[in-house]
Amino acid sequence: MALTPDKTENLPTRIAVLFPGQGSQVVGMLEELSEIYPQVLDTFAEASTVLGEDLWAICQNEARLNQTEYTQPALLAASIAIWRILKDKIEKPCYLAGHSLGEYSALCAAGVLSFADAIKLVHKRGQLMQRAVADIDTAMAAVLGLEDQRVETLCEQAAQHVDGAVVGAANFNSPGQVVVSGNAIGVGAVIDKVQNTGKKAIALKVSVPSHCALMQPASDALATELAGITFEQASIPVIQNRHAKVETNSLNIKQALTEQLSEPVLWSQTMQELADKQINMLIECGSGNVLSNLAKRQAHPIVSYPTDRPARIDKLLEVLS
């Protein structure tokens, strides 16, 4: 049963806001919201000035939107546009968290990063990720129905026994859903091993293999980029992907962002951390409802509200009222 605010027992509503990552993008995202809320086009115009590219126009072009160097700033702009709509309409959240790229949106919403710096960083992050695997045949796949440790073991076996294989667990999304990432040989070997257990492994359409050892060159280069950016004190605690905990020291935050590129996203663990902290409402702040769907599948589900369309924002505000 999902954890929900129970007004009959006068339990306080404890909110966490979640920011989605790559894979949530869709052509024309936030178009309906843009017709009602000026924050949408204003935010995209601000991002476009930083990039020197019309980011809103890119969101109408599938081929360009799916280039990771544009996907990342587009998703960050979408999340921050919705955050700007919501932040004066909801009570201050207890925590923020973002899935992979979404962590930059969370840090921006918390005031750790300026919006301009965040846009520059994720644009560069996308370029570095693409460059790291420019000459490598790569892949990612979602493994369904196996325990986390079993998936890790299958990845280790493939890496040790299959010639040339590079593969590892990339996203621990929910119990029974782990994404693996690496080169095509390694991911293919894991898919075969998973299918031999009678479980499913579904190849994903992605442009780069996030959160695996192949991203180490990008991680190293990103550390240099981060060193030149000023990080402020967070106005709202941010639970980071690297260790599924809040970091407060700016050097530790930067280190976690650096390692995040080549280490797995601990999303199930982050959701458990929120449950342990008595969070009873989640708001997904960005394109789509991927994180809201994942919230239903956690060991301790928490009700989650997506906000990428006017009707969804209206529903959220009705619940909060």
Q: Which residues are catalytic?
A: 100, 211
β-pair partners for 283: 17, 305
Task: Assess contact for 25 and 287: CB atoms under 8 A.
Answer: yes
Nearest to 240 by CA among 285, 270, 210: 270
Question: Hey, what amino acid is at 72?
Answer: Q
What contacts 24+ positions apart, CB below 8 Å, involve 278-281?
A: 278/14, 279/3, 279/14, 279/15, 279/16, 279/94, 279/95, 280/3, 280/4, 280/5, 280/11, 280/13, 280/14, 281/4, 281/5, 281/13, 281/14, 281/15, 281/16, 281/305
Phi-psi region of 147 (alpha: psi -120 to 50; beta: other; left: phi over 0): beta
